[in-house]
A and B are shown apart, each in its own frame.
Chain A
Amino acid sequence: MKPRRCLAISLMCVVSLFAEAPRGTVPRSAADRYPSHAEQNGIAIGVTLLTPDQARHAFASDVNRCCLVVEVALYPPKDVPLDISLNDFVLRVTGTDVATKPSGAKVLAAKLQKKNASPHDRDVTVSPTVGVGYESGPVFDPATGQRRGGGVYTSAGVGVGIGGPQPQPGSSDRDRNTMELELSEKGLPEGIAPAPVAGYLYFSLPATKDKKATHQLEYTLNGNKVVLALP
């Protein structure tokens, strides 16, 4: 085999090994297909806040325990690639100073990993048993080696079972890696985007007592802030 062909094949192998899995979600046909959308300098953005039920269906990981999930789609103009950075996004509780930036998949996976019960926690089960019976005689008594007549006999005992704690679902390290992988693969991809892209942003906001509180997503684009109200 020629050295050039050999080199090309080995290069293809290396590229296929390091090729990343596709990231994000499939963007809708246009930004106005999202409940909240805006356009600035030819760049369109569409966002939607996932309800807890939608998040439960979209993720195997229980993201409702840690954060609010916002689906974001960006549509750059033709021949003008867009540089996407997660630091350009902020989620704010409307009318307050409470705001946060998106969290990374690694941090969230650590939060979502359930802790197993302490190995010192033991499940002790005590089962007392009592028995009363009648035996018809005469029978051979193994204790005395003599024959004896039958009669009523009684017995009593206690059984003690000690068990370890059951592992919690989604508590192993492999689960944590899987959750991290899922959140990372479904997240909004960072970097240069020449075509429309979409993905999820995860915001770890502290729980508010006000159930009617609404949120707004702020996106800083070339120094200009775009505010999108999330229904």
Chain B
Amino acid sequence: MKCLRIFVLCLGIFLMGSARGQTTSSGTGQSQTPQTNSATSGQDTKAATDTSADALQDEHHHKFHVRLGTISVGAGYSHFSGPFFNPFWPYRFYPYGFYPYSFGYSPFFYDPFFYSPFYAPGYFRGFSYDEGRGQVKLTDAPKTAEVYLDGAYAGTANKLKTMWLDPGAYDLSVSAPGATPFHQRIYVLSGKSLKIAAKLSPQTTQEKQKTEEKQ
């Protein structure tokens, strides 16, 4: 058993050595091959020719091709509008479906400033124009009214007069202190414009009492 182990070890060392040797020869044999080629004959010549072909291929692989036509220089400018610029908690943008207020603040929620935008690029796009999006125009809402989309805070009404959203159905809510919240389910289609008149009516006495009780 011990002999077998030693044999396997030796075999392994031998194979590694031979592999290294091959690598070394293919790596350094490029300049030596033409000399060997001229000195040999018969089968050796054929072998030498093959080697020179390999060497040529290797040479080809390591050659740098500079194509001036493919050089391009570009400059870009990106503008992020909307709630991303508001650094004060809790006025941060949260992806739809996350309800941070229900569970309290947690550092595990997606934060576009902390994580890379490539981590979840869909959440980083904001409400700016995009070809495959639809426009939602919010009118009649007070400037300071808070706008929620699918339960997640999206920003204030004065900053979200025009939103570009991906096609889909959303639950839009607009609320302001002392006013009855406005709720509407909206359906956004690409390339189409939707005008929402979110006029908030003042709260009745009963509603005020309910709000105070909740608080």
Whether A178 contacts B189 by the Cβ 8 Å rule is yes
Q: How far is the CA of A60 from the CA of B191 in the complex (A)?
A: 12
A171 contact set on B, CB distance < 8 A: 190-191
Q: How far is the CA of A174 from the CA of B168 in the complex (A)?
A: 7
- Min CB distance A32 to B, Å, is 28
A178 contact set on B, CB distance < 8 A: 167-169, 187-189
- Which DSSP category, helix, strand, loop or mixed, fits chain A's interface? loop
Q: How far is the CA of A167 from the CA of B192 in the complex (A)?
A: 12
Cβ-neighbour of B190 out of A21, A61, A175, A185 (below 8 A): A175
**Is A168 in contact with chain B by the CB < 8 A criterion?**
yes
Q: 0/1 per residue, B104-115, Cβ < 8 Å to A?
A: 000000000000
**Is B131 in contact with chain A by the CB < 8 A criterion?**
yes
Contact (A175, B167) CB under 8 Å given A169-B191, A185-B185: yes
| Residue among B131, B132, B186 with max Cβ neighbours from chain A (10 Å) | B132
**Is A190 in contact with chain B by the CB < 8 A criterion?**
no
A52 contact set on B, CB distance < 8 A: none
Q: How far is the CA of A182 from the CA of B188 in the complex (A)?
A: 10
Whether B167 contacts A172 by the Cβ 8 Å rule is yes
Q: 0/1 per residue, B162-173, Cβ < 8 Å to A?
A: 000011110000
**Is A104 in contact with chain B by the CB < 8 A criterion?**
no
Whether B185 contacts A175 by the Cβ 8 Å rule is no
B189 contact set on A, CB distance < 8 A: 60-61, 169-170, 175, 178-179
- Min CB distance B148 to A, Å, is 17
**Is A30 in contact with chain B by the CB < 8 A criterion?**
no
Q: How far is the CA of A179 from the CA of B187 in the complex (A)?
A: 8
- Residue of chain A at shortest CB distance from B166: A174
**Is A117 in contact with chain B by the CB < 8 A criterion?**
no
Whether B131 contacts A170 by the Cβ 8 Å rule is no
Q: How far is the CA of A185 from the CA of B185 in the complex (A)?
A: 10
Whether B167 contacts A169 by the Cβ 8 Å rule is no
- Min CB distance B131 to A, Å, is 7
A182 contact set on B, CB distance < 8 A: 169, 187
B169 contact set on A, CB distance < 8 A: 178, 181-182, 185
Q: 0/1 per residue, A162-199, Cβ < 8 Å to B?
A: 00000111111011011101100100000000000000
Whether B192 contacts A181 by the Cβ 8 Å rule is no
- Residue of chain B at shortest CB distance from A59: B187
Whether A60 contacts B190 by the Cβ 8 Å rule is no
Contact (A60, B186) CB under 8 Å given A167-B132, A168-B191, A170-B192: yes
| Residue among A59, A170, A175 with max Cβ neighbours from chain B (10 Å) | A175
- Residue of chain B at shortest CB distance from A168: B191
Q: How far is the CA of A88 from the CA of B92 in the complex (A)?
A: 51
**Is B149 in contact with chain A by the CB < 8 A criterion?**
no
| Residue among A21, A59, A167, A178 with max Cβ neighbours from chain B (10 Å) | A178
**Is B200 in contact with chain A by the CB < 8 A criterion?**
no
- Min CB distance B192 to A, Å, is 5
- Residue of chain A at shortest CB distance from B191: A169
Q: How far is the CA of A167 from the CA of B131 in the complex (A)?
A: 8
Closest 5 CB pairs of A and B: A169-B191, A60-B187, A174-B167, A182-B187, A170-B189
Binding site for A on B (CB under 8 A): 131-132, 166-169, 185-192, 194
Known: A61-B187, A167-B131, A178-B189. 11 other contacts (CB 8 A): A60-B187, A167-B190, A168-B191, A171-B190, A171-B191, A172-B132, A174-B132, A174-B190, A177-B168, A179-B189, A185-B169
| A-B contacts, 9 listed (Cβ < 8 Å) | A61-B187, A61-B189, A167-B132, A169-B192, A170-B190, A171-B191, A172-B167, A178-B188, A182-B169
